[in-house]
Structure 1
Amino acid sequence: MKILFLTAEAAPFTKVGGLGDVAGALPAALRAVPGAGLDVRVVTPLHGGARARITTPLERVARVSVPHPSGPLGAEILATTYDGVPFYFVHAPGLFDDSIAVYHQDTGWDGHRYAFFCLAALELARVIDFVPDVLHANDWHTAPSIPALHRARFSDPKLGRARTALTVHNLPYVGWGAGPAMRAFGLVPGELPRVAPEGREMPLPIGLSLADRITTVSPGYAREILEPEFGAGLDALLRARKDALVGILNGIDTELYDPKTDAALPQRYDATTALAARAVNKRALRRELGLVHEQGSVDEPLPLLAVVSRLTGQKGIDLVPDAIRALARDHAFQCVILGTGDHALEEQLLRLAGELGDRVRVRVAFDEALSRRIYAGADMLMLPSRYEPCGLAQMIAMRYGCVPVARDTGGLSDTVRDLDLHDAPTGFLFPVASSRSLAFGLRRALATFAAVSPRTGEHCAREGRFAMLQQNGMREDFSWSRAALAYAHTYRELVTGETR
C-alpha cells in the first residue's frame, strides 16, 4: 500500500513543534509494521537550515510546475532516505529555500506558499509515478492537498482514486488569511454546506469537510473537539463528520528518550535500578542549578517539582506562579522551570524565582539535554494545560520515572492514570485549568511523596505508593510502533472499505 505523507516540518531536518516529531518518527514506524506492506514516502518543504541537517546524499529527482494566475510557479524536488524512509524536499527560491523559516507571521503569504507546496507534491507523485493509495495530510498547511486531490478526480482519475486522511495536531490553527491563495490556486470547492461562511476559504475547514478520514493525536482530544469549548468554531462540522473521526495517540522516540542509554544523565538506569539512580541524578541536578537547602546541602529529601514546556497560555504556564506561592506557605519543596515562549510569562516566572530564592530556579532556554536531566532527577512534572491535543512531556517524564501532575484534558487524560481512580496508576489529574486546581493536584502528589512507611515509620517516597507510580510509568508503552499499528488499520479501512 502506497502512502504519500505531506508535512510542513519533519525532524531531524526541521522541527518547530510536535508535528516535526510526528513526521520524523511515524513514517519509519509505519514502514516497520509487520505484514502491512506500507510504502510510506514523505514530502516536505526545504526550509532554511534543513540542508545542513541532511547528512545523506541529496538527489535531484524532478522539476515540477504549478499553474497560477500570475504565471507558472516552479520547484526543484530533492530526495534522500532517512531511517529507511524516502524524503522528498520541495525547493522553490523565494518560497521554500535556505533563507526562509518554516512558518511566517503573515498567514496570507504562508497560505500562498503551502497551497503551492501541496500542488507541487501532487505533481511530484505524477512525475515519479508514485500513485498513492492514501494521501495523508497534516494540519492546515497541507490540508489544501485534499481539495486538490478532489479536483484531480475529474482531471486525473489515476491520481484521483487516492483516499485521503487529515490529521489535526492543533485545531485552532485553521489557516486564517489563506483565502486569497486558496482562490488563486482553484482550491475552494463550490459548495461546503457544513462549513460556516467565514470558513469556506480556509484550508483546514475545507480539508475537514472533504477528507475521507479525520484523525487527531489522542482519543481524548477527538472527543473534546466535538464540543464548543475545544472545537475552535468547528465543533458543528466535526460532529457532522463524527463517523469519520478517530483519535490515535502519538508516540515518543523511545530510543532517544531512554534512561538506560541517555548520555546526558549523570547516572543511567532502568525500571529495576531507577530509585537509587534517580536519587543520584536529583542531587546532581540540584548541584547544577544551585538548589541548595537552607543548611547548604543538596541531599535533603525535599520533593523537586518541575516544568518543562513552551511558556504559553495554552500550556497553562500562567497558572504556575500562584500555585507555587500557595504551596510555599505550607509545604517544603523546590522547583525548577525550563522553557521559552511568551515574554510576559518568562518575566512572571523570573519574578517568582526572585521571590522564593533557593526554592525556585528558572531557566529561560531551550535545552534538550537539561530537560532530560530534569526528567531524570525531578520527582513531579507539572502539566497545567488549558487544552492538550496529545502532549509528549508527560510520556517522556513517565519513561524517566518522573510522576506527572496533569490537567484532566485531551491526551493528558489518555496517558496519565490517576492514583485514586485506577488499579495501575501513573500520576495525578486535576479537573480545572486554574491555579487553585493545580495547587490541589500538587498537594495530593506531595502528600503521597511524603507518606511514611507502615513498615519503618519513616519517609517512604522510595518504597511506597509514590514509588509504585514511578515504576508503573516507566513500564508504559509509548512507542511509535503502537501508534503505527492504529494508523495502518486506518489506512486499510480507507482502501478496502472495511468498517471499524
Structure 2
Amino acid sequence: MTIRVLHVASELYPLLKTGGLADVTAALPAALIEQGADARLLLPGFASIAQGLADLHPVARLERTFGAPQASLELGRVPGSDLPVYMIRADAFYSRPGNPYLDAEHVPYGDNAQRFALLGWAAAQLVQHADPAWAPQIVQAHDWHAGLVPAYLRAAARERGLPHGRSLARTVFTVHNLAYQGIFPAQQFANLGLPSDFFDMHGVEFYGQLSFLKAGLYYADKITTVSPTYAREIQTVAQGGGLEALLRGRSHDLVGILNGVDYTVWNPATDGSIAMHYSAGHMSGKLRCKTALQARLKLAQKHDAPVFGVVSRLTEQKGLDLLLGALPEIVSRGGQLVVLGTGDASLEQGFTRAARQHPDAVAVELGFDETLAHAIVAGSDVIAVPSRFEPCGLTQLYALAYGALPLVHRVGGLADTVVDASLENLADGLATGFVFERFEPDALTAAIRRAFALYARSHDWRDTRTHAMQQDFGWAASAQRYLALYRELL
C-alpha cells in the first residue's frame, strides 16, 4: 500500500532557510518518495517560495482567510525535483520583505497567530479533499508554525460525529526545537475558529496563554523529535520548557528519530562550493580547501595550524559564549578560529573584537552565506558545536562527512552522533570527534586541548578523520523509521 503523507512546515531549502528545519523538509519527503511513499509538502506562500516553485497552478479557494483579504491553495514543485508542493497564496499575510517571522525591528509580526493558523487550517482542508485529486492519510506537522494542524483535524472530526479522539487523518507532530513554542495572548484564541473547549489545560491553553506548540503535542496521534537523546531530555524540567509533564504523560507516543544528511548537497567528493574535491580515500584536496579558506579570510597561511570552524547562530543556546571564553586557549596553542553566523549583539561584538586583536588567527563573517558555510566545513580541521542543548544538530553531521572532527557537548543529537576520541575509543577505532560532558569552561578547554594533542599525532588524527568520513547518516534509515511509524498509525 502506498502511504499518502503531507508534510506541513514553514521553510524549504533552497527556497527559504533560517535553520535546519529547511534542510529536513527538503530531504525527508524526498527520501520517503524514494522508499515508495506518496509525499507532498504544504508551505505558506512567502515571497521566496512563491518565486522559487515551478509550475504553480490554482487548486482551491480557501473559504476561511483569518483576516487576509483572500487566500487560495496552489500546487507546484521544487525545480529539479519530483516533490509536489502545495502553497498558500495569501499575499497580505506572506508577501513581506525580509524575515518570514519578524518585522524590520526584529519583532514578531502582530498577526503571526493568524498567519500560521491559516497554515494549519489549510492542511486540514487538504485532508478534506480541497484538492479533489489527492488527500493525505498521514499529516506530519513540523514545529509550532504547524502546531494547529492536529487541533483543526480533531475539531473537524468532532463536527462530522467521529468517535472522541479520532481524526480524519492520522497526525504526527515533529519537534525540531522545543524552545520555540508559538505563544500568543489568550484573546487571540477567538480568531482561530476552534471549539471553545479547546482553550483548556487539556488543549491549547498554556499558563493563561495560547501555545501552538502545545496544540501539536496535545492533539497529535504521535510525537517525534529529531534525536533519541533529545526525546528523553524534553521530558525533564531542565529541557521541557514547561511542557515536560505533558510529554512524560505521552511518552508512549513520543519517539526520537535522528535527522539525516542529504549527501547530494553535503559531499566533499562532488561539492561545487569548495576549492578542491576530496574523499576518505583521496585526502589531498582537504589541505587545498584549508589553504583556500585561510586565504579567503586573510588568516596566516599555516598548514600545520589546526583550524577550528563555527557555522552557527551566534546565541547562548549554541554555547558560543563558552567558546568565546575559550578562544585564548585556541590562539595561544597556535590554532586558528573561523566563525560564520549572526545573532546576539554581545557575541557578534566579542568575536569581532577577537578578530581585530588576532587578525592572523581569528576571522569572523557576520551573516549567513551557504557557499562560505561549505568552504568552512571543508577547510576546517575541527568544527565546534558546543551547544547548551541541541535537538539534533546537522552541522556535526556535515563535519563528519567532510573530515572536520566535531567538538561537541554531550547533549541531544550531538551525544547520539559523535564518539569521543578517548584512549579506549581510539584503540577500538570508534572515535569520530571530541565530546565534553559538563557545560563549563574547563570542560570545553580540556576538549580543545585533547583536539590539539590528537592533531599532533598525525597518524591517529588521519585514522580518526577517515573513520568520521565513513559514518553514514543518510536519510534512508530515518525515512524507514518514519514509514514504520506511519504504518503503525494506519
Report the TM-score, using the length of structure 1 for normalisation: 0.89
What corresponds to 2:386 in structure 1?
Answer: 384
Decide whether the 8 Å contact of 1:194 with 1:237 is kept in 2: no
Q: Which of residues 227, 241, 248 is equivalent to 1:218?
A: 227
What corresponds to 1:154 in structure 2?
Answer: 158
Decide whether the 8 Å contact of 2:69 with 2:92 is kept in 1: no
Decide whether the 8 Å contact of 2:266 with 2:398 is kept in 1: yes
What corresponds to 1:166 in structure 2?
Answer: 173
Q: Amino acid of the residue matched to residue 138 of structure 2?
A: V
* Unmatched 5+ stretches in structure 2: none
1:431 aligns with 2:437: yes
What corresponds to 1:322 in structure 2?
Answer: 325
What corresponds to 1:363 in structure 2?
Answer: 365
| CA offsets 1:150-184 (integer angstroms, 9 cap, x no match) | 11112246993311110001102111116433332
Q: How much has 1:196 moved relative to structure 2?
A: 7.5
Relative to structure 1, the CA distance from residue 147 to residue 467 in structure 2 (aligned partners, 3 Å threshold; closer, same or farther) is same
Q: How much has 1:321 moved relative to structure 2?
A: 2.0
Which moves more between the two structures, 155-164 or 439-448?
155-164
Q: Which of residues 263, 268, 287 is equivalent to 2:295?
A: 287
What corresponds to 1:454 in structure 2?
Answer: none
Once residues 313 and 390 of structure 1 are traced to their aligned partners in structure 2, the CA distance between those partners, rounded to angstroms, is: 17
SS in 1 for 2:439: coil
Q: How much has 1:400 moved relative to structure 2?
A: 0.6
What corresponds to 2:40 in structure 1?
Answer: 41
Once residues 168 and 211 of structure 1 are traced to their aligned partners in structure 2, the CA distance between those partners, rounded to angstroms, is: 12
Q: How much has 1:432 moved relative to structure 2?
A: 2.2
Relative to structure 1, the CA distance from residue 197 to residue 363 in structure 2 (aligned partners, 3 Å threshold; closer, same or farther) is closer
* Unmatched 5+ stretches in structure 1: 293-297, 452-460, 496-500
Once residues 195 and 119 of structure 1 are traced to their aligned partners in structure 2, the CA distance between those partners, rounded to angstroms, is: 15
Q: Which of residues 9, 12, 24 is equivalent to 1:10?
A: 12
Once residues 202 and 76 of structure 2 are traced to their aligned partners in structure 1, the CA distance between those partners, rounded to angstroms, is: 42
SS in 1 for 2:41: strand
1:11-160 equivalences under 5 Å are 11-33=13-35, 37-54=36-53, 56-66=54-64, 74-82=70-78, 83-97=81-95, 99=97, 101-104=99-102, 105-106=107-108, 108-125=110-127, 126-129=129-132, 130-156=134-160, 160=167
Q: Which of residues 321, 334, 337 is equivalent to 1:335?
A: 337
Once residues 122 and 364 of structure 1 are traced to their aligned partners in structure 2, the CA distance between those partners, rounded to angstroms, is: 40
Q: Amino acid of the residue matched to residue 188 of structure 2?
A: A
Decide whether the 8 Å contact of 1:419 with 1:428 is kept in 2: yes
Q: Amino acid of the residue matched to residue 176 of structure 2?
A: H
Relative to structure 1, the CA distance from residue 224 to residue 186 in structure 2 (aligned partners, 3 Å threshold; closer, same or farther) is same
Once residues 106 and 217 of structure 1 are traced to their aligned partners in structure 2, the CA distance between those partners, rounded to angstroms, is: 25
Q: Which of residues 430, 453, 456 is equivalent to 1:447?
A: 453
Once residues 42 and 306 of structure 1 are traced to their aligned partners in structure 2, the CA distance between those partners, rounded to angstroms, is: 33
Q: Amino acid of the residue matched to residue 432 of structure 2?
A: T
Once residues 151 and 428 of structure 1 are traced to their aligned partners in structure 2, the CA distance between those partners, rounded to angstroms, is: 48
What corresponds to 1:498 in structure 2?
Answer: none
Q: Amino acid of the residue matched to residue 88 of structure 2?
A: V
Q: How much has 1:206 moved relative to structure 2?
A: 2.2
Once residues 412 and 212 of structure 2 are traced to their aligned partners in structure 1, the CA distance between those partners, rounded to angstroms, is: 24
Q: How much has 1:51 moved relative to structure 2?
A: 2.4
Sequence identity of aligned pairs in percent? 37
1:474 aligns with 2:469: yes
Once residues 395 and 199 of structure 1 are traced to their aligned partners in structure 2, the CA distance between those partners, rounded to angstroms, is: 39
Q: How much has 1:199 moved relative to structure 2?
A: 6.1
Once residues 319 and 306 of structure 2 are traced to their aligned partners in structure 1, the CA distance between those partners, rounded to angstroms, is: 22
Q: Which of residues 231, 243, 256 is equivalent to 1:247?
A: 256
1:256 aligns with 2:265: yes
Relative to structure 1, the CA distance from residue 200 to residue 3 in structure 2 (aligned partners, 3 Å threshold; closer, same or farther) is farther
Once residues 160 and 31 of structure 2 are traced to their aligned partners in structure 1, the CA distance between those partners, rounded to angstroms, is: 31
SS in 1 for 2:62: strand
Once residues 160 and 230 of structure 2 are traced to their aligned partners in structure 1, the CA distance between those partners, rounded to angstroms, is: 36
Q: How much has 1:279 moved relative to structure 2?
A: 1.7
Relative to structure 1, the CA distance from residue 25 to residue 353 in structure 2 (aligned partners, 3 Å threshold; closer, same or farther) is same
Once residues 367 and 108 of structure 2 are traced to their aligned partners in structure 1, the CA distance between those partners, rounded to angstroms, is: 26
Decide whether the 8 Å contact of 1:30 with 1:484 is kept in 2: yes
Decide whether the 8 Å contact of 1:183 with 1:201 is kept in 2: no
Q: How much has 1:336 moved relative to structure 2?
A: 1.4
Once residues 191 and 285 of structure 1 are traced to their aligned partners in structure 2, the CA distance between those partners, rounded to angstroms, is: 54
| CA offsets 1:52-81 (integer angstroms, 9 cap, x no match) | 222x2211111111176x7x9641211112
1:267 aligns with 2:276: yes
Q: Which of residues 270, 286, 304 is equivalent to 1:278?
A: 286
Relative to structure 1, the CA distance from residue 13 to residue 287 in structure 2 (aligned partners, 3 Å threshold; closer, same or farther) is closer
Once residues 12 and 88 of structure 2 are traced to their aligned partners in structure 1, the CA distance between those partners, rounded to angstroms, is: 13
Once residues 416 and 333 of structure 1 are traced to their aligned partners in structure 2, the CA distance between those partners, rounded to angstroms, is: 22
Q: How much has 1:108 moved relative to structure 2?
A: 4.9
Once residues 137 and 95 of structure 1 are traced to their aligned partners in structure 2, the CA distance between those partners, rounded to angstroms, is: 20
Q: How much has 1:97 moved relative to structure 2?
A: 2.9
Root-mean-square deviation (Å) = 2.2
SS in 2 for 1:120: helix
Q: Amino acid of the residue matched to residue 118 of structure 1?
A: G
Once residues 368 and 170 of structure 1 are traced to their aligned partners in structure 2, the CA distance between those partners, rounded to angstroms, is: 22
